[in-house]
Structure 1
Amino acid sequence: MRAHYLQHVPFEGLGSIETWLHTAGYDISSTKLYAAESLPALDGIEMLIIMGGPMSVNDEEQYPWLGNEKTFIQQAIDSGIPVLGICLGAQLIASAMGAKIFANPVKEIGWFPITSVPAPII
């Protein structure tokens, strides 16, 4: 099994997702879009993960690879490949599917600890 991820900046890697993929038996490959790497053929990719980044999904003039990436994402979805988007990645999925993407008035950044609470007694 092979999972492929798209990386937009050097500091937005898989994080703990990588451990899960290895535990689940996936081989992992990547495209570093910030380094001008080419998108792969979809053959043999069984999961696509699209990571985050500080750019906007609408910044195609500044980041011309965004247009090709959206087409690639649409083709993966059309091929039935499971696709997961993190932050910018989720926006790219939405854009590839035809949604209008606009700025949130509140800035969101990063991963934060999650604390469980006891279930309520009913």
Structure 2
Amino acid sequence: MSRLALAVRHVPFEDLGILAPALADRGYRVQYLEAGVDAIDSEAVAGADLAVILGGPVGVYETGRYPFLQQELVAIGERLRRDRPTLGICLGAQLMAAALGAEVAPTGRSEIGYAALTLTAEGLESPLRAVQSVPVLHWHGDQFAIPDGARRLAETPGFPNQAFALGPRILGLQFHLEADASKIEQWLIGHACELSLRGVDPAAIRRDAERHGPALARSARQALDLWLDGL
């Protein structure tokens, strides 16, 4: 029987992207749970063979505005308590950090566009070593603190907490390793208001997606394979 990879999606275009083929090749059957639409059942989330918590343009701390976030935090917390394989991306990593008791807060600034990571010593020994020299897509203004007991894996100038790992099965990424550069136009349309507000030129992101996309797709696949191999 195929294994279930449950992907919690917050906006349609922030999907598994280039990670989907890697999961299919491993024999995973992907099921999307649409946050804010589908019921978030803690047992279902905790019981999946693999969970990927994807990104979105809301803040972990906005539970009053977006009540589904509270249900999602409870479900993620139960999964992490059981130490089940979980990958969080951007908002997903922030939700994981919050569920583990770490602070998540706005920084008052933003990081949007393609840029390389600086890996910590522990990051160089992690699956992220596969993306050490490849610019990845950043798209955030919030930041998580590193949960107690977790290892800090990567940083960028002004954003020291770009990734954390808690044991071999729990990995949180502030950046978007999954983004399919061939579909970057969906991101530019979906986040048009934010780009305008932040004064970010979509043409620059479009050019960088074309320039870095192929190498990122290869390196992201390698990083995911290394993580899955270690589960």
Shift of 1:38: 0.9
Which of 1 and 2 has higher RCO (CA within 8 Å, sep 6+)?
A: 1
Q: Partners of 1:30 and 1:5 in 2: how far apart? A: 5
The residue number in structure 2 matching 1:96 is: 99
Report matched runs for 1:1-122 at 5 Å: 1-34=3-36, 36-40=37-41, 41-42=44-45, 44-108=47-111, 109=139, 111=179, 113=212
CA pair 57-44 structure 1, distance change in 2 beyond 3 A: closer
Relative to structure 1, the CA distance from residue 104 to residue 64 in structure 2 (aligned partners, 3 Å threshold; closer, same or farther) is same
Once the two structures are TM-superposed, the CA of residue 106 in structure 1 deviates from its matched residue by: 3.1
| Residues 82-116 of structure 1 deviation map (CA, whole Å, 9 limit, x = unaligned) | 11100000000000011111112431326553769
Q: CA deviation at 1:42?
A: 4.1
Change (3 A) 1:54 1:93: same
Question: Judging changes above 3 Å, is the alpha-carbon distance between structure 1 residues 105 and 51 closer, same or farther for their aligned structure 2 residues?
Answer: same
When the two chains are superposed, the root-mean-square deviation of aligned CA atoms in Å is: 2.0
CA distance in 1, matches of 2:73, 2:45: 14
The letter for the 2-side match of 1:45 is A
Which contiguous aligned blocks of 4+ residues in structure 1 show a shift greater than 3 angstroms? none
Aligned pair in 2 of structure 1 residues 43, 64: CA closer, same or farther (>3 Å)? closer
Higher deviation after alignment, 36-45 or 87-96: 36-45
Indicate the percent of aligned positions where both proteins have the same amino acid: 33
Deviation at 1:56, TM superposition (A): 0.6
Distance 1:45 1:10 in 2: 21
Equivalent position amino acid for 1:78 in 2: R
Which structure 1 residue ranges, 5 or more long, are not aligned? 117-122
Q: Deviations over 1:59-99 (max 9, x none)?
A: 11111000110110011111221111000000000000111
- List alignment gaps of at least 5 residues for structure 2: 112-138, 140-175, 180-208, 217-231
